[in-house]
Structure 1
Amino acid sequence: MKCPWKCEHHQCKKHCGEKCSRPPCDQPCKLTLEKCGHPCIGFCGDPCPPVCRECDKEELTEFILSGSEEEPDARFVYLEDCGHTVEAEGLEMWLNQKSSEIGMKRCPRCQATIYNNRRYQNIVLETYETVKKVKAKFNSYSNKNNIKRRDIELILQDRRFGVYFTTYAKKITVTLGVGPTNRRKKQKFLSDGELKLLYFQAQVLKKAVSILQESEEKDGASQNRSGISYRFDMQKVPKFNKVLKANIDTILERVMQQTVTIAPQMMKEVSYELQRQMILPAYWKFQEKVAGNCNEKLLMVKGRLEKLMDPTVIFDEELDKKVRNELKASEEYFGGLGISDSERVMIVQAVGLKQGHWFKCPNGHIYCIGECGGATQQSTCPDCKAPIGGVDHRLVSGNALASEMDRASAPAYPSMR
């Protein structure tokens, strides 16, 4: 059905319920009131206010909004939902004012919600759409947080909990009332807050396990990638991984101390701190590689990374992205392999040299020396133009064995140390 709002000056061409295509008419209404015959105080095309400027002056001016109510040419708008008549200029300012609260527009006199008003229908519709979006977002959030015991139990079925943080995992299982030992017991009631806490605790445990396992595998500390064939032995873990484990233990202790509910702020802080732990192993390796390097650009990268990795700074997603970009940029200066471990193995096998034939320039770019593995000629690095190779089976200054390429502990030719 087409919009019925029209007057001799304007006509809406949209359908009823859509945003009107015509502006509100600012011409005075030419009609007269039936009860007294005096001129209407409204606008052309709008519902006529039932109040008379002459007969009902006291009622018309008892509510002051803009101060123009007593002006002889003041125009008024009739609010059909509540029956109040309000001066147009003041009402328009009222409806267009910004507010921190999200809600429907209301009558300035009685605060009744405005649903039907053709003159300001576009404002009403825009407000309605905003409210609808907020409600949809809230309902979506509520649905996401409608956590069930089964959701938490599925996380706890991760077999890696038999290796890492077994005690914490069992604690959640007991509180949840699931698992083989609790099947015959009546499950106690858990509030939404308690379920939310347990779900977050389980998620944090899973994230912590992934961080530790990934760090171990990169350092060769893991004997089985499945992570289930051995117990966590701190004596066999490299130094940096011990620090990482201690950091994560501190985070977990804080999270697992919560018993009833958990504040959103704590959830955010813990998530950010776990994000920091994820990038720490790569940052530590960078520090090892850059030690003793005098490359000015690389030292600038080091300085920026030290500021970004300051433990007093909140490590959010934006900071994580910056750190990863700096680490990636650093590879240009000290030749990060930039390949996966499987690709590295394939390259070493394809070249066919024994261990101890791979070396790196002063900036860390990788190259190999064939035959006996001893340097017999000097050249320049194709990546950074630094001197590589050497003479008389001795490396030129600044070059070193690239054990990261073939895991060699010593050069194939003894004098190449």
Structure 2
Amino acid sequence: MDSEYVLDKCSEPCLQKLNCNDICRGTCGKCKQGRLHIPCSEICNKINPCNHICKFPCKERCPPCNNKCLYSCIHSKCTNICGKPCVPCKEKCSWKCRHLCCTVKCGEICNRMPCYEPCDLILECKHNCIGFCGEPCPPLCRICQKDEVTTIIFGNEDEPGARFVYLEDCGHSVESEALEQWMNQNDKEIVLKQCPLCRTPILKTLRFMNRVKVILKDIAEIKEKQYKEQFVISSNKIEMLQSLKSLSDNFKSIFIGDLRKFQHIKDLWDMFCKPLNKQFQISQKTHKNNRNRTVHIPIKEIESLDFVINLFKSTSKYKQIINEDIDDGPMKQTIINHFVWLLSVTFTYAKELSNQQKFDINMEMARGGRIVSLYKILSSVEYKMKVQMNIDSTNKNEVKDLIDNMIDMLISCKVYNLNRDKEIENRMELIEQKIDGIAFISDEERKMIHKAMSVNFPGGIRAQGHWCKCQNGHIYCITECGGPMEESVCPECKVKIGGRNHRYVSGVTVASEMDGARSLAWSSANNIGDYIFDD
């Protein structure tokens, strides 16, 4: 029985910790022994800045909140979904009392302070109000409801001169000094303040409206940033659809395998692409002369579409190398099967690939790239001649052992990662030293491998400038947030590498040969690009 088939049937829980910090709920077989995890299904449950709980599967990248917006003022209520920026109210602010008056627009920061004079209104029971001047009167009387008013919750409720604030959002009345302290807690956190008794967001209480407006302004900036990111992703979708159509039209010549054996791959591709191609064709006919023709595709699908297109193009490049430079035989078919397997997984989940899946697929692409580079050399006439004729038996045995070890590492069912790839690279360098004139990998192949491995950054975006060199020229990669956050030592020469707070240690330079970057991520030279605007 095929060992791969047996591994696929393993029903033991995976239980590996994913990049999103959730525990994988798949099985060992379904997750390919941790090499390609199924999508994370854990509900996020994080509280968004707007105070809604995110119910999207997996917290790796929450989409903009799609609940109804909570914000309203005395003039109107926001009708957008929560994830869209609110339109500031242009009406005149209504906050005034006989001592103070705000003169700016409702949506702007008020130009008056809260009034601390006692309210002079008389309640229906003929007793004095316990609130402040110009604010809604708390529906409690210090005399008629003495027990309720003076019940100690925060400490000052039983003071004779205690003043209370009525929270219009939930109807609770809270002692003013305690509420001030409550509102000042976690002042640096971008999240709506809540009633200390019931956790209802405080949005309508004029006394704290300036704090609410500052928080809403910060939340609006977050929304704006999210929508800007979505616009950047969406702006290229017509080009993506054109590329998708071209790949569909030329599928047979681009596909790395034999379609007679792998028709199911084409079926998966068609399930994903045909609806999109149909939308695109309708859009072209409807808006033939309109450059602004649009096709509605959810943001998550656009991100996946970009990944699928790039992966398919990469496997096509490997197809050419495999067909031209690798000897026929069982291993050639094994290499092809590896890439077909990756395409199968990618096309199966093509509509909504998670960042974890993209990461896993790219690491397996890097593994495949190393296998191709190894067998390309083993198939070359130059290698065969040098091994047979130009090196002594001791070196020949050492080279054979190194190659056997590399093959075992590359075809292992263990997870492929940066450390394993570095081990492979080190062995390739050792063989190059023992066989003068042999180069295991071309610059183009190196970039293909490292492009695949550069997906483990925020949002799954392949950024440049994360491949670095220590002061002695040894290459390493910064993962996590993409900028240096901790110091370490070079595994080759033990000099300091990395950095702190996005500042690199002295001597670190960009490894341009890896991804074509001209400057380090988070360096001044890289960040200056944020201030260059195209016409």
TM-score, scaled relative to structure 1: 0.49
TM-score, scaled relative to structure 2: 0.39
Report which structure shows greater RCO (CA 8 Å, sep ≥6): 2
